Amino acid sequence: MKITQVEVFLLHDRFVYLKVDTDEGIAGWGEAAFHGGRLTAQMAEALGLQVVGHNPFHTDALWQQLFRTGYRIGNTGAYMAAISALDIACFDIKGKALGTPIWNLLGGKFRDRVPVYSSLLQRHLSPQQDVEKVLARMEQGYSWVKLHTATAWSFDQGKDGTIETVKALRDQCGNYDQLKILVRCESSLYDARRHESGTGLRGTSSLTL
C-alpha cells in the first residue's frame, strides 16, 4: 500500500483536517491541533508531499522521518500539529485496512465509558451569557463545562471575568457540586492564584484552573 495524495482542508481559517489517499482506495482522515490555523494548513501541505509514495502502515518510521527533518523548526506548534494530523490519518488507514478500531492498535481497550466536557469556545462573554450557555450544556447532559473567561494567552490585558462568572454560576446553576467548571489555562500565574485565594473559590473541588 502506498500513499498517493494528501488533501488539506482549512475550516473557518482555524481548524485543519487532512485526507490521505492510497493506491488501494482506502483513505484516512486526520485532525491537527487547533493552534496555527493557516500556518498549520500550509505546514501540513508541505509535509504531505513528503509522505507520498510511502507505506501508511509504517507510522513510526514516517513520524520519525518528519520529526527529524524539521528538528530545527522546533518540537511544538504548527509543525508538530501537522505531523500529528498525518499520523492520525495513517492510523485511520491502518484501522480500516485491518477492520479494527484504532484503539486496538494502540494497546487495546482500556475502559467502556469516557467522561467528556463541553467547551464554550467563546471569550469575552458576560457572566450572564456564560451562565445561559452552561445551563444549556447541562440540559444536554454535560456535567463538565469549560469556560474561556481568562485573558487570552496569559497576557494581563483586558478584564478577567472568571471570578464574576463562577459566582454567577454558583447562584444560578442549582446544585453546584454536580457541575464541574474548567477555566481555560490561559490565565497568568498571578490571575490563577487570585482566582483560588481570597475570592471564595478556594476549596471548591469542582473548579479546575
Q: What are the structural domain ranges in the chain? A: 3-105, 118-208
Q: pLDDT (tens digit, 9 = 90+) per residue, 8-61?
A: 999 988 899 999 999 999 999 999 987 778 999 999 999 999 999 999 999 999
Q: pLDDT (tens digit, 9 = 90+) per residue, 117-157?
A: 888 877 777 888 888 988 898 888 887 888 777 555 545 45
Instruction: Say if residue 160's pLDDT is above 70.
Output: no
CA dihedral 84, 87, 88, 93 (to 10 degrees): 160
Number of other CB atoms surrounding residue 28 within 10 Å = 25
**Contact by Cβ (8 Å): 144, 117:** yes
pTM over 0.75, yes/no: no
- CATH superfamily, domain 3-105, is Enolase-like, N-terminal domain (3.30.390.10)
Q: Tell the CATH topology of 118-208.
A: TIM Barrel (3.20.20)
Residue 147 parent element (H or E):
strand 144-147
Distance (Å, whole) CA 97 – CA 75: 30
Q: pLDDT (tens digit, 9 = 90+) per residue, 49-99?
A: 999 999 999 999 999 999 998 877 777 789 999 999 999 999 999 999 999
